[in-house]
Structure 1
Amino acid sequence: MHQLKKPGDRAKRLCKLPGTNSTPYNKRKKTDSNFTDVMFIKTSSGAGGNGNVSFLREHGSPKGPPDGGDGGDGGSIYVQPVEGESSLHKLRRRIVAANGAGGKNSQMNGRNGEDIIIKVPVGTQITLADTSVMQRENLLPGEGWVHLSGFKEFNEERPFFKAIVKKKILEDRAQERQEEIEDAIPPDGIDLNREGPPVLLLKGGRGGLGNRHFHTPDIRNPRFATTGRAGITTIFKFELKLLADIGLIGMPNAGKSTILRAISNARPRVGHWAFTTLTPSVGTIQLDVATADRSFTVADIPGIIAGASLNRGMGSDFLRHVERAGSYAIIVGLDSTDPISDLQILVAELGEKRMENKNVLVVASKADLPGAQDKFIRLQEYVSRQGWKSLPVSAQNKGQDVEILIRTMAKLTGVI
């Protein structure tokens, strides 16, 4: 199985997770890969190392007391939301944490497996893709022993060993319950909607016990230790959903990118052809230069066409990116033969669930074209009946209309 390289290459330059033996997930080299907002990743936490069976060797004494060390714990997998990332394409599709090392003599414990931190964009949601593989392949309770060579049958026949096995059955069952708690993933998944510290995704297996733990007045020479607990393997779905105050929605060539360029510091491609916006983007709109807190964000997604919710058109994969927005700015071009029909199509593709509890502003773009005024009056009447706001805008002029639009959007988000 592929594992992280040992500290010494690029991983050596990365920071450690405070309080753990961990290194941030070593991402692939930067490429020109396309925007990726959904990935299925198979992940495995490390297994615990086995305990050691050994005895102290001193001059003049054929066999001293047991001194076998414990196995190290397997590496765990963490996920951390970070600002500055806007795609999942850098992540690997297979992530494996290291196993814990076996215990050694002289009471030396094995080294813990190195943890992995997967850094993802803020707004990533992680859910189980296949619950059937969410399990640890541990032995049955009471099993999992390391015997000194040639002493397996001898140990298993001893009454004291049988008593220890019964005790281990209870301990293993308690450990299974603890693992079930640690391995539990919320039904709705893990929603990383803000920057923060690493979150545990998969816990590594606990290391086994060395034979020194079984030394009692009745067991002077324990010739056995326990094996480490298994790690866990499963498949997660990583899904990026952009975080913005307003979702900018429209049909191809409706003027969305032109409007976003006029009102924000984002700079998407602008042109006179359909599907200009190829990937989602977020623009920040600041009302006043002196007061950074008076700002809001706008998410722009590719144009939506009829049937987008059924995987038609370039907007089909990006509807998820407006789900988190509290408000929608729906762009309808007044150059269309029927702007009301366009609006109805957009609302239908968003669906009732995405429209639930949303503030809606219908922005009628290209208001400077001939005949646009009559079309806007009819559109305004329809929008008012839905309980929404409407506003005509000519972004090409970059004049008073754009300033009014910015203020209207700010009121929609509660900034002013």
Structure 2
Amino acid sequence: MNVLISLLGLSPGVATGAYYALYHGWGIDEPIKVNKVITVGTNAQGIDRVEDEIEREFMRWNSDTDNNIQYDETCRMRIEGSDLAREKDVKDFRMLITKLLHEDYKNDNVYLAVAGGRKSMAALAAVTAQLYGYGVQGMYHLYVDENLEKDGSFENFWSSIDDRRQREVMRPPSGQCNLVPIPYLQFKGRDGEISLTLRGEVQDYIIRYLDENPSFIPRIEEKSKGNVLGYMFEVKVMEYLRQSGGYTRVSHHYTLPGHRGDIDVFAEKDEKILICECKLFLNYNSECHLVESKKVDQIVERVNILRDRYPDAKVEAWVVSNAENAEDDAWYWAKKYDIKMKTTGPIEDRFRTTLIDWRIPRIYDMKSPDQFDQK
């Protein structure tokens, strides 16, 4: 079951906004349909009215669509206190959010929205997700348009706006709100061993933390390790182009305006543009690891956009990997669209003691099959 757990203060649109952003995929890679919404807050004066408004909106949504979102009395979770004003209130909130993540929904896909309520509630929920949120698939802030946020406040929602605007606050139109993923490392302990799982996208502060604590690197579970080391591989390709290729402007995860998705590495010098799609294989084996054709497909789309956009520039594209060969289909499309297949050669041993303090010594052409000889 997909469950949205939303922290809640006195703005009813926080919970429904998070739901609709998940449903439409606003700010995230793919839309997510949740089956149940849980709100978590305090016993503040007016909270009943806020929760009732949320329930009415989901009833309307269920009536308007073929969805069947559960939000009822059992989904309204509160502590006894009206605020996190005392040590007891903080403890009660921590115990409540821990129970939800560690016991009640540990076997479900949980999406945690931390925009509502006090900042201290968000801090407690984030720490709990790191330690006990085994089912948490993502943690999110909710960005809301300034006017929508103002109209959705407890002071204005029932006194200063009409019914139409209330519906917009509860069910925001496209462009008025979006999720902002919050990456973090989740710790798990079993049989005296610690493992780490990355939730969300890799960011520099996570890399710095792991580099300062290299004993954690072998503890990262396989998929997360692939994301972390893949990120560093892209960074090292970028550094190689700057230091050895003479490129003066180099960017990592460059976003093409008006285009969904990004470019792993974007580099410029003079009138030349180079883009790179990168692929790192863990535990590389030359007999079974080949660069897939989809990596070429991805860069073909992007290079064609750039060639149309900058007709006077020389636009070049590389697929860079630690693998030394590629699938036949990858070679075919690379030859057709003038994509260069490049390799660093085996480098994985460089990650054993550090993530940051190493470099790629060289990037060179893969040896292509005769029928796909790249000149």
TM-score bracket, normalised by the shorter chain, equals: under 0.3
Greater relative CO, 1 or 2 (CA 8 Å, sep 6+): 1
Rg larger for: 1
